[in-house]
Amino acid sequence: MGQRFQNPAAQTHGARYRRRGWWRDATIVDDLRRAVQSHPGKTAIIAARYFSKDVTRLTFADLSRYMDRFAGALLSLGVGREDIVAVQLPNGWQFSALALACARVGAVIAPIPPDYRRREVEFILGRTEASVYIGPQAWAGYTHRDMARDIAGVLPSLRHRVFLGAEGALAPGELDFDATFVARAWEEERPAAELDAREARADEVCNVLYTSGTTGEPKGVIHSHNTNYGITRALGETLSLTGDDVFCLPSLLTASTGFTYLFQLPVQLGATAVYMDVGDPELTLKLIEEHRVTFSYGIPTYLMNVIATQRKRPRDTSSLRKLATGSIPVPPHLIAAVREMFGIQLHTLWGMTENGAVTLTRQDDPPDWPAHSDGRPVEWMDVRIAPAVAEDGTPYPDGTGRLLVRGASQCLSYFKRDDIYAASVDAEGWFDTGDLARDDGRGGIRIVGRLKDVIFRYGYKIPVVEVESALYSHSKVKEVAVVAHSDDTIGGERVCAVVVTREGEGTPTLDELRQHLKQQGMSNQYWPDRLELVDEMPKTATGKVRKHLLREQLKARAR
């Protein structure tokens, strides 16, 4: 471990975690080597592209070759050990080869979801001081190349901008991905011994994943290869997944779930992973049928759409044997529908980017248990429910309290924000998740809310403070509070902006506010779905908005 990253957990708990088998002395690169030795010709990745309809297959031997080729390309760009490489690609084999290549040269990957826009991307590139940005020329109607070009003007540390599918003349600092990474046989120019000397070790940092929080800025969650190992094992061992399984998730490889369970876990097991670059229910079912997928994961809203599509046009999904969900509460009718349509049991889990899946429902739980529980903790993670009080100072009833966790999957810190991380961890190492939970009666937990002000919308964690801050700059907004309101039609939460207008400026419309956020470069998944105008905000004596009262008012108006 160099100077840029520290891993105090390795010094404090490393020996014990290794004795228990929770950590190891290997990385994802070693997992790939093992797969190549066992079955080099086995398919590692099947990458389906929604718009072009083409499919790319890579064997484990192919993936290993591209790992070393891309590693050589990174070295040619001046990437050194512990340097951060920012990757904003849609799901495809290139992302996985890049992530492996980073580990091969001891670099750290900072994945960025492709639907993030300038506001988020500029913050991440600036905070990490990434010297290399790799993204698409354009994706889903948005030109990432123009965005990156604008950002480069204010970030002197960003030396190289590499674009997949680059078209036209390249500006200074811009490179074509295929020419730089794919076409040149770097593995023949850079000896394996050179890569071996640079390769990351198990306790060194693997990735920095940015997650939006309530502090007004995204937080860079730092994971080592060993904390990632704990995360992958949680799902793999609990659901008895093996190298014979075929994985297919609509999750982004650049987000926590996809990075862990679509990229890392299949390589770790020597299993096949099926990628889709667009999360489309029809495509999901098509891939399950064509490639005999055995495991999938999706948030409840996505699974409900998959089931609705299956009812209209049934596919052969008989290969599917394990299905998991999480992020938002599971409606009982989804459990019954999964059983009816796929003939299998639905599993639910709870976790965070900071620690992956910590609790999961088990095979021996009652069939309807995911509607009542978020599962029991894995062996290497401790869970505790501590007393908590609401915003108005009253304690929560029925044993509800703050959910605290600690263990071998816990992240190392937040990148360049050790102060924020330290504020969430007590002297005994308990990390305050910000979630409210209660005992489920079977040794597990049930998430009942959030102490921190975060909203989950379509699987995204909405950075409430950041959205409010952006809305405050609108000329017609005097005060604003962004709160969640439940929507039974999607089985989850929507985003409502509660606004007190500026006198004499007129009344804003929802469309106006959304356009305002667009102009500020904010990703559209953060935009409000609903606008409520009020004369004044309910506040505490110290001037804080009593958001729980706003939520109750929204609920009453919906009746």
Q: Which residue has the tokens 């075929």?
A: 246
Q: Which two tokens stand for residue 28?
A: 């994802």
The DSSP symbol for 486 reads E
**Residue type, position 96, single letter:** S
The whole-number pLDDT of residue 293 equals 98
* Range 31-67 burial, b when 16+ CB lie within 10 A, else e: bbeebbeeeeeebbbbbbbeeeeeeeebbbbbbbbbb
Residue 361 belongs to a domain: no
Q: Which residue has the tokens 């506001």?
A: 119
Q: In what order do the strands lie in the sheet with 356-360?
A: 55-59, 43-48, 272-276, 246-248, 295-297, 322-326, 346-352, 356-360, 376-377
Task: Give the side-chain half-sphere CA count within 13 A for 158.
Answer: 26
Backbone φ/ψ region at 24: left (φ over 0), alpha (ψ -120 to 50), beta: beta
- How far is it, in rounded angstroms, from Cα 449 to Cα 453? 10
The whole-number pLDDT of residue 492 equals 66
- 8 A C-beta contact, residue 109 and residue 87: yes
Q: Is 369 helix (H, G, I), strand (E, B) or coil?
A: helix
Rounded alpha-carbon distances, angstroms, from residue 209 to 128, 223, 395: 11, 8, 34
The whole-number pLDDT of residue 461 equals 64
- 8 A C-beta contact, residue 46 and residue 57: yes
Residue 514 belongs to a domain: yes
Q: Is 165 helix (H, G, I), strand (E, B) or coil?
A: coil
Residue 467 belongs to a domain: yes
- How far is it, in rounded angstroms, from Cα 117 to Cα 129? 18
In sequence order, which residues have a C-beta less than 8 Å from that of residue 278 and are 6 or more positions away?
Answer: 50, 51, 90
Q: Where are the alpha helices (DSSP H) in 361-487?
A: 418-423, 464-472
The whole-number pLDDT of residue 324 equals 96
- Range(s) of the domain holding residue 488: 457-558
The whole-number pLDDT of residue 326 equals 87
* CATH code, 508: 3.30.300.30
Residue 183 belongs to a domain: no
- How far is it, in rounded angstroms, from Cα 148 to Cα 163? 10
The whole-number pLDDT of residue 454 equals 59
Give which of 7, 4, 414 is closest to 227, Cα–Cα: 7
Q: Which two tokens stand for residue 33?
A: 């080597």
Cα angle 38, 41, 43; round to 5: 100
Q: How many domains does the chain have?
A: 1
How long a stretch of residues is the chain? 559
Give which of 80, 66, 254 is closest to 159, Cα–Cα: 80
Q: Is 545 helix (H, G, I), strand (E, B) or coil?
A: strand
> What are the per-10-residue average pLDDT scores of the chain (559 residues)?
70 90 97 98 96 92 98 97 97 98 98 92 96 96 95 93 93 96 95 95 96 66 97 95 97 94 98 96 96 94 90 96 86 88 95 95 91 93 88 69 95 95 94 90 86 67 73 86 75 84 90 93 89 85 67 76
In sequence order, which residues have a C-beta less than 8 Å from that of residue 414 and are 6 or more positions away?
Answer: 219, 220, 221, 222, 420, 421
- Phi, psi (5° rounding) for residue 366? -55, 150
Q: Which residues pair with 382 in a beta bridge?
A: 406
Q: Which residues pair with 406 in a beta bridge?
A: 382
The whole-number pLDDT of residue 463 equals 67
- How far is it, in rounded angstroms, from Cα 336 to Cα 15? 45
Checking DSSP bridges between strand 132-136 and strand 84-87, what pairing results, if any?
parallel
- 8 A C-beta contact, residue 137 and residue 166: yes
The whole-number pLDDT of residue 214 equals 37
- Phi, psi (5° rounding) for residue 192? -60, -35
> pTM for the complete prediction?
0.84
Give which of 321, 227, 213, 163 is closest to 5, Cα–Cα: 227
- 8 A C-beta contact, residue 73 and residue 81: no
- How far is it, in rounded angstroms, from Cα 171 to Cα 544? 49
Rounded alpha-carbon distances, angstroms, from residue 179 to 32, 130, 186, 424: 25, 21, 11, 45
- How far is it, in rounded angstroms, from Cα 145 to Cα 323? 37
Ranges of beta strands (E only) in 232-292 are: 246-248, 272-276
Q: Which residue has the tokens 């409430």?
A: 464
309 membership: H or E segment, kind and range: helix 300-312
CB atoms within 10 A of CB 363: 10
